[in-house]
């Protein structure tokens, strides 16, 4: 490790390249050695060697093994021990370690170098027979499962038998003789399963272990994990050969793992678990109940102080929260690994903010360290506190455990990963995966599950780590939970829960409930998030507006930081029960006066809607889009009407009083009229039919009514003392003449209202750009519009000529899975096509009107990649749904940095 500079020089010295060559574990072991953190001597076989080995179908690259033997000789010199020596044997571990951390996904073998002779020698040297045979049986067990593929359960069963024969509960209580017996039993298992004796030659052991670690890069768990984390498959793993230090050497020895800050909440306090008289893998495996690191402070204050100091040093060195492995051998502390720690979204935000405040990183770095997905987490469901209280009062609170990964999860209990995956993926069920503990083989089930519950394990257990990384709510270490995998049920106290029953997990509080509890999206924002987003606001150039159709959404969006409404869809207002009849009447009317009456009745409703929005936005711009969908969408469907008519006609046949006949005839008459109108409104391609501005041109009374409502509301709120900035948006224009003709009429109405009210309002008229022709003629459009807004949902449909509703459920899936389209163009802006149109449009428009306000109100406005594009081409703002506003604030800042 101390010669890392040579390796670094060979790849140009860039730290990322060093990591790629040596793997994260190897690079950091070398780095820690360099900054004089105590690390046992060792060396790294590169990822390049691994890739060459795998590519050649299993042959070490030329000269590699000689170099390994040379390096082993170096370790011998440094330690004064010799590999295979009967008096003072050197033991090493053979550890996987890829460029990106994949905790527990690949293999490691400890205690290499032990055989019957060296074991005897080590007993003489240490006088500790128990320790030696504990190490020896571990070697055979790990070697057996990693190198020779013997199922671990075979060894575990032998251990179980040994414990019950000895009448003890834990491995720690086994005697030297027990362990000696186990070692022999393990050797027999090894021979039985492989037909070969366990290899005693240390160099042979090392060689076989190295090959096994290389191969573990392509093991199923590793491949699954890489697929889930989008890690490339061609990186390969390095192999680290590290001199063994022994956490199982007696009472003054222990092993542990720790995070330099709390990985769940982000609090700046070391947290971790340790086990006395044990070896590393015991801690994460959840075999024994671990001790909390705080106990070490009392038991070994000096060691703890040294550990704390190293932890701080590592944080300062890496400028990042660290996840470390350490071992104490007879009162001496050794660090065995450091890497940046996995954390929840909540912790990520708090750590970034606190590190910036402490001057460890800059504010810009803090902004760049938090991902938009992590911000999104804050807007995800949590349990409704009232629903939770009701459930608890009803006795549904079953148990408490460790709250290792926050959030609420509700699902059906599944006791194994395969079932969890099948229920979730194939049957679309919500599942909670319940296990005594989880192993790397369980990851596919954990990913498919809503949440994870285990009866064993600590804060740094496998289950906790994976859950945090993938944002799955999890509760672990619920010791009252007794799981019977055979009977497929679990009991907590006197409650029995069967596989397939509903449970609810509160990962934030660490609680387990029976049944289903309602979830809500949290309203209150985290103080660190508020701070971070405040910093982001100072960095971004894009405005963040919101799409809101009612005052509640508008208010919510404002609390999330929205700076305007970029899209209010007026038609949503019509669908309300009290208004729909008037709209029907308007659509059905044959005479202008009837139409007038219906519209007059609708006006006050719309006026109230707009007044509410203006009040909620208090001085911020509000863009209202005039009616957009084709009118038939407001009428019952043809199928429903025909069905009703048939029904009425049957009832007419059986009507027994004149009165009934009369009403039925009347109803039939009305329905027939509606059906006729539906038929007359029928279009083969309604998406491309009479809608948007075309509707406004066809029925100008409708849009003028809307404009009147907007201006009456604006005048009213202005008179109340509020500031109002209405912007009226004309949808679906493709020709400048459409815009001109519609705007002329509407502007007259606006002026009329303001004259009537005796007040001047600051307003704008603009148009949506959602048809390629509009984008291409933007210089003409810009002469008659005071603002543009890209409706990228329609613009994507019209540019691709794809109907979204049909395609997303159909051929688009295939297009994406086969790579015909790299991404769903309805989720992320297609830069080459739709994006190019947008850029061109903006260029043309701004050549006529350099200050033209131009935003985007399609769903892309909430997508971080699309937001980056909007920033690039110089849009004024993005307008997304209220829940995406915080995400957009961060993404816009990241785009600007
Ligand atoms: P993983 O990547 O799965 O954590 P590691 O290679 O880190 O695998 O090793 C597994 C466990 O063995 C860890 O707890 C580690 O600290 C411990 N370990 C590895 N090498 C040594 C060593 N030389 N001495 C003592 N413990 C070790
Ligand atoms: Mg490790
Ligand atoms: Mg549209």
To the question of whether residue 226 is assigned a binding role by annotation, the answer is no
* Most informative mutation of 23, 79, 95 for ligand 1 (most atoms within 8 A of CB): 95
Give me ligand 3 centre to Cα 692, in Å.
Answer: 8
* Range in 583-592, 684-693, 759-768 with the lowest mean pLDDT: 583-592
* Most informative mutation of 89, 94, 110, 142 for ligand 1 (most atoms within 8 A of CB): 110
Residue 469: what pLDDT?
Answer: 63
Ligand 1 atom nearest 242 alpha carbon: 23
DSSP 3-state assignment of 14? Answer: coil
**Is 640's pLDDT higher than 90?**
no
Which pairing describes strands 408-414 and 502-506: parallel, antiparallel, or unpaired? antiparallel
User: What is the interface pTM, i.e. ipTM, of the complex?
Assistant: 0.96
pLDDT band at 806 (very low <50, low <70, confident <90, very high): confident
Give me ligand 2 centre to Cα 57, in Å.
Answer: 27
**Is 55's pLDDT higher than 80?**
yes
Residue 286: what pLDDT?
Answer: 65
> What one-character-per-residue DSSP string does 137-176 give?
HHHHHHHHHHTT---HHHHHHHHHHHHHHHT-SSGGG--H
In this structure, are residues 354 and 310 in contact, taking their beta carbons and an 8 Å threshold? no
Q: Count CA atoms within 13 Å of residue 433 on its CB side.
A: 31
* Range in 451-460, 472-481, 862-871 with the lowest mean pLDDT: 451-460
To the question of whether residue 793 is assigned a binding role by annotation, the answer is yes
Phi-psi region at 349: left, alpha or beta (left = phi > 0; alpha = psi -120 to 50):
alpha
Q: What are phi and psi of 655, to 5 degrees?
A: -65, 135
**Is 62's pLDDT higher than 70?**
yes
Rounded distance, CA 876 to CA 885, Å? 15
> What one-character-per-residue DSSP string does 39-72 give?
---EEEE-HHHHHHHHHTTS---TTHHHHHHHHH
Q: How many distinct helices (H) and strands (E) make up the chain?
A: 39, 32
Which pairing describes strands 787-790 and 511-514: parallel, antiparallel, or unpaired? unpaired
- State mean pLDDT over 445-455: 94
Structure tokens of 825? 């163009």
* Range in 50-54, 286-290, 769-773, 803-807 with the lowest mean pLDDT: 286-290
Residue nearest to atom 24 of ligand 1 (CA): 244
Residue 534's alpha-carbon distances to 23, 376, 562, 816, 890, in angstroms, are 37, 16, 12, 37, 9
Ligand 1 atom nearest 96 alpha carbon: 6
Structure tokens of 176? 């030297």
**Is 200's pLDDT higher than 90?**
yes
> What one-character-per-residue DSSP string does 238-257 give?
EEEEEE---TTSSTT-EEEE
To the question of whether residue 332 is assigned a binding role by annotation, the answer is no
Q: Which helix (H) or strand (E) holds 212?
A: helix 202-216
**Is 808's pLDDT higher than 80?**
no
Place of tokens 């697929």: 227
Residue nearest to atom 14 of ligand 1 (CA): 280
Give me ligand 3 centre to Cα 761, in Å.
Answer: 27
Rounded distance, CA 193 to CA 205, Å? 17
Q: Which residue has the higher pLDDT, 540 or 346?
A: 540
Rounded distance, CA 36 to CA 253, Å? 22
To the question of whether residue 625 is assigned a binding role by annotation, the answer is yes
Structure tokens of 400? 């408490």
- Cα Rg, the chain, nearest whole Å: 34
**Is 491's pLDDT higher than 80?**
yes
* Range in 91-95, 260-264, 538-542, 811-815 with the lowest mean pLDDT: 811-815
Q: What are phi and psi of 793, to 5 degrees?
A: -65, -55
- State mean pLDDT over 401-415: 91
List pLDDT tens digits, range 819-855: 899 888 988 999 999 999 999 999 999 999 999 999 9
Cα 641 to its chain centre, rounded Å, is 45
- 466 CB-near residues (< 8 Å, 6+ apart): 103, 438, 443, 446, 452, 472
Task: Cite the active site residues.
Answer: 462, 857
Q: Please give the share of the chain, as a percent, with pLDDT higher than 70.
A: 99
Residue 782: what pLDDT?
Answer: 97
* Most informative mutation of 222, 329, 336 for ligand 1 (most atoms within 8 A of CB): 336
pLDDT band at 386 (very low <50, low <70, confident <90, very high): confident
Ligand nearest to the CA of 280: 1
- State mean pLDDT over 632-652: 90
- 523 CB-near residues (< 8 Å, 6+ apart): 556, 559
Which residue from 225, 319, 238, 293 is spatially nearest to 27, judged by alpha carbons?
238
Structure tokens of 25? 């574990």
**Is 649's pLDDT higher than 80?**
yes
Residue 297: what pLDDT?
Answer: 94
- State mean pLDDT over 112-129: 95
Ligand nearest to the CA of 630: 3
Which pairing describes strands 271-276 and 408-414: parallel, antiparallel, or unpaired? unpaired
Q: Which residue has the higher pLDDT, 499 or 281?
A: 499
**Is 523's pLDDT higher than 60?**
no
Residues lining ligand 1, Cβ inside 6 A: 40, 93, 95, 103-104, 108, 110, 242-245, 280-281, 325, 327, 336-337
Residue 184: what pLDDT?
Answer: 97
Give me ligand 2 centre to Cα 337, in Å.
Answer: 6
Residue 659: what pLDDT?
Answer: 93
To the question of whether residue 794 is assigned a binding role by annotation, the answer is yes
Place of tokens 């104490």: 328
Residue 522: what pLDDT?
Answer: 62
In this structure, are residues 651 and 658 in contact, taking their beta carbons and an 8 Å threshold? no
In this structure, are residues 275 and 254 in contact, taking their beta carbons and an 8 Å threshold? yes
Residue 519: what pLDDT?
Answer: 85
Residue 4: what pLDDT?
Answer: 86
Residue 809: what pLDDT?
Answer: 64
Give me ligand 2 centre to Cα 325, in Å.
Answer: 7
Residue nearest to atom 10 of ligand 1 (CA): 281
- State mean pLDDT over 740-763: 97
Average pLDDT, whole number, for the chain? 93
Q: Which residue has the higher pLDDT, 472 or 204?
A: 204
- State mean pLDDT over 667-686: 91
- State mean pLDDT over 13-34: 94
> What one-character-per-residue DSSP string does 757-825 give?
HT-----EEEEEE-SHHHHHTHHHHTTS-SEEEE-HHHHHHHHHT--HHHHHTTHHHHHHHTTSSSS-T
Q: What are phi and psi of 658, to 5 degrees?
A: -60, -35
Ligand nearest to the CA of 687: 3
Which residue from 342, 308, 307, 309 is spatially nearest to 327, judged by alpha carbons?
307
- 387 CB-near residues (< 8 Å, 6+ apart): 517, 518
Residue 177: what pLDDT?
Answer: 96
Residue nearest to atom 15 of ligand 1 (CA): 280
Rounded distance, CA 184 to CA 187, Å? 5
Rounded distance, CA 293 to CA 555, Å? 45
Residue nearest to atom 17 of ligand 1 (CA): 280
Structure tokens of 161? 């038998």
In this structure, are residues 895 and 868 in contact, taking their beta carbons and an 8 Å threshold? yes
Ligand nearest to the CA of 327: 1
Rounded distance, CA 2 to CA 32, Å? 9
Q: Positive or negative CA dihedral for 478, 484, 490, 495?
A: negative
- 771 CB-near residues (< 8 Å, 6+ apart): 732, 733, 734, 794, 795, 798
Strands across the sheet containing 271-276: 291-292, 271-276, 254-259, 322-329, 332-340
pLDDT band at 570 (very low <50, low <70, confident <90, very high): confident
Helix axes 638-653, 658-681, angle to 10 degrees: 160
């Amino acid at each position: 490790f101390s010669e890392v500079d040579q390796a670094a020089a060979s790849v140009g010295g860039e730290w990322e390249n060093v990591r790629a060559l040596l793997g994260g574990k190897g690079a950091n072991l070398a780095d820690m050695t360099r900054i004089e953190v105590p690390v046992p001597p060792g060396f790294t076989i590169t990822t390049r060697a691994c890739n060459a080995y795998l590519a050649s179908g299993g042959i070490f690259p030329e000269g590699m093994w000689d170099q390994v033997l040379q390096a082993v000789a170096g370790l011998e010199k440094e330690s004064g021990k010799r590999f295979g020596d009967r008096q003072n044997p050197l033991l090493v571990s053979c550890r996987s370690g890829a460029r990106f951390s994949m905790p527990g996904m690949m293999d490691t073998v400890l205690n290499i170098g032990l055989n019957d002779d060296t074991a005897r020698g080590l007993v003489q040297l240490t006088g500790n027979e128990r320790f030696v045979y504990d190490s020896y049986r571990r070697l055979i067990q790990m070697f057996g499962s990693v190198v020779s593929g013997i199922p671990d359960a075979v060894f575990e069963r032998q251990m179980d038998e040994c414990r019950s024969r000895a009448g003890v509960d834990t491995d720690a209580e086994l005697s030297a003789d027990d362990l000696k017996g186990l070692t022999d039993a393990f050797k027999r298992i090894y021979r039985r399963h492989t037909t070969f004796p366990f290899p005693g030659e240390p160099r042979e052991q090392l060689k076989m272990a190295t090959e096994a670690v290389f191969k573990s890069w392509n093991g199923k768990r590793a491949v699954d994990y890489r697929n889930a984390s989008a890690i490339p498959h061609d990186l390969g793993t390095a192999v680290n050969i590290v001199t063994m230090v022994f956490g199982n050497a007696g009472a003054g020895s222990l092993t542990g793992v720790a995070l330099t800050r709390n990985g769940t909440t982000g609090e700046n306090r070391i947290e971790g678990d340790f086990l006395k008289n044990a070896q590393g893998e015991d801690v994460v495996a959840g075999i024994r109940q671990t001790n909390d690191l705080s106990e070490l402070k009392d038991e070994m204050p000096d060691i703890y102080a040294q550990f704390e100091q190293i932890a701080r040093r590592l944080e300062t060195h890496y400028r990042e929260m660290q996840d470390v492995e350490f071992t104490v051998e007879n009162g001496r502390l050794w660090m065995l690994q450091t890497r940046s720690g996995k954390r929840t979204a909540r912790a990520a935000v708090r750590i970034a903010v606190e590190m910036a405040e402490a001057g460890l990183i800059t504010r810009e770095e803090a902004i760049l360290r938090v991902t938009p997905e992590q911000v999104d987490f804050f807007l995800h469901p949590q349990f409704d506190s009232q629903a939770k209280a009701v459930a608890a009062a009803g006795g549904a609170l079953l148990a408490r455990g460790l709250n290792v990964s926050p959030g609420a999860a509700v699902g059906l209990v599944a006791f194994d990963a395969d079932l969890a995956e099948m229920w979730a993926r194939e049957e679309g069920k919500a599942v909670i995966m319940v296990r005594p503990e989880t192993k790397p083989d369980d990851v596919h089930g954990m990913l498919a599950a809503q949440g994870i519950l285990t009866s064993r394990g600590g804060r740094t257990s496998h289950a906790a780590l994976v859950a945090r990384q993938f944002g799955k709510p999890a509760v672990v270490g619920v010791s009252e939970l007794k799981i019977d995998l055979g009977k497929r049920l679990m009991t907590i106290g006197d409650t029995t829960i069967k596989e397939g029953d509903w449970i609810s997990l509160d990962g934030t509080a660490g609680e387990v409930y029976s049944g289903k509890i309602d979830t809500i999206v949290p309203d209150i924002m985290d103080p660190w998030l508020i701070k971070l987003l405040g910093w982001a606001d100072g960095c971004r150039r894009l405005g963040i507006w919101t799409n809101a159709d009612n005052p509640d959404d508008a208010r919510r969006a404002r609390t999330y930081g929205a700076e305007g409404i970029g899209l209010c869809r007026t038609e949503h207002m019509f669908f309300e029960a009290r208004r729909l009849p008037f709209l029907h009447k308007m659509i059905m009317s044959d005479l202008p006066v009837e139409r007038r009456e219906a519209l007059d009745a609708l006006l006050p409703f719309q006026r109230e809607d707009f007044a509410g929005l203006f009040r909620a936005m208090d001085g911020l711009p509000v863009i209202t889009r005039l009616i957009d969908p084709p009118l038939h969408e407001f009428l019952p469907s043809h199928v429903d009407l025909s069905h009703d008519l048939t029904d009425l006609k049957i009832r007419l046949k059986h009507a027994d009083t004149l009165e009934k006949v009369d009403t039925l005839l009347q109803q039939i008459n009305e329905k027939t009229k509606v059906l006729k109108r539906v038929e007359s409104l029928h279009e083969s391609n309604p998406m491309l039919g009479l809608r948007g501005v075309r509707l406004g041109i066809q029925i100008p009374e409708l849009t003028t009514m809307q404009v009147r409502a907007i201006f009456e509301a604006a005048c009213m709120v202005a008179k109340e003392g509020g500031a109002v900035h209405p912007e009226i948006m004309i949808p679906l224009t493709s020709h400048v003449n459409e815009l001109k003709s519609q705007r002329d009429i509407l502007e007259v109405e606006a002026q009329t209202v303001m004259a009537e009210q005796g007040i001047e309002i600051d307003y704008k008229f603009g148009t949506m750009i959602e048809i390629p022709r509009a984008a291409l003629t933007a210089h003409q459009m810009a002469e008659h519009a005071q603002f543009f807004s890209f409706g990228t949902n329609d613009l994507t449909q019209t540019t691709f000529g794809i109907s979204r509703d049909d395609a997303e459920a159909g051929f688009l899936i295939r297009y994406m899975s086969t790579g015909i389209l790299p991404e769903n163009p309805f989720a992320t802006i297609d830069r080459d096509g739709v994006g190019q149109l947008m850029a061109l449009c903006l260029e043309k428009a701004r050549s006529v009107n350099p200050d033209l306000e131009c935003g985007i109100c399609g769903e892309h406005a909430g997508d971080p990649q699309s937001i980056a594009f909007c920033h690039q081409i110089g849009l004024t703002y993005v307008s997304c749904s209220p829940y995406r506003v915080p995400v957009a604030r961060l993404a816009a800042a990241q785009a600007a940095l």
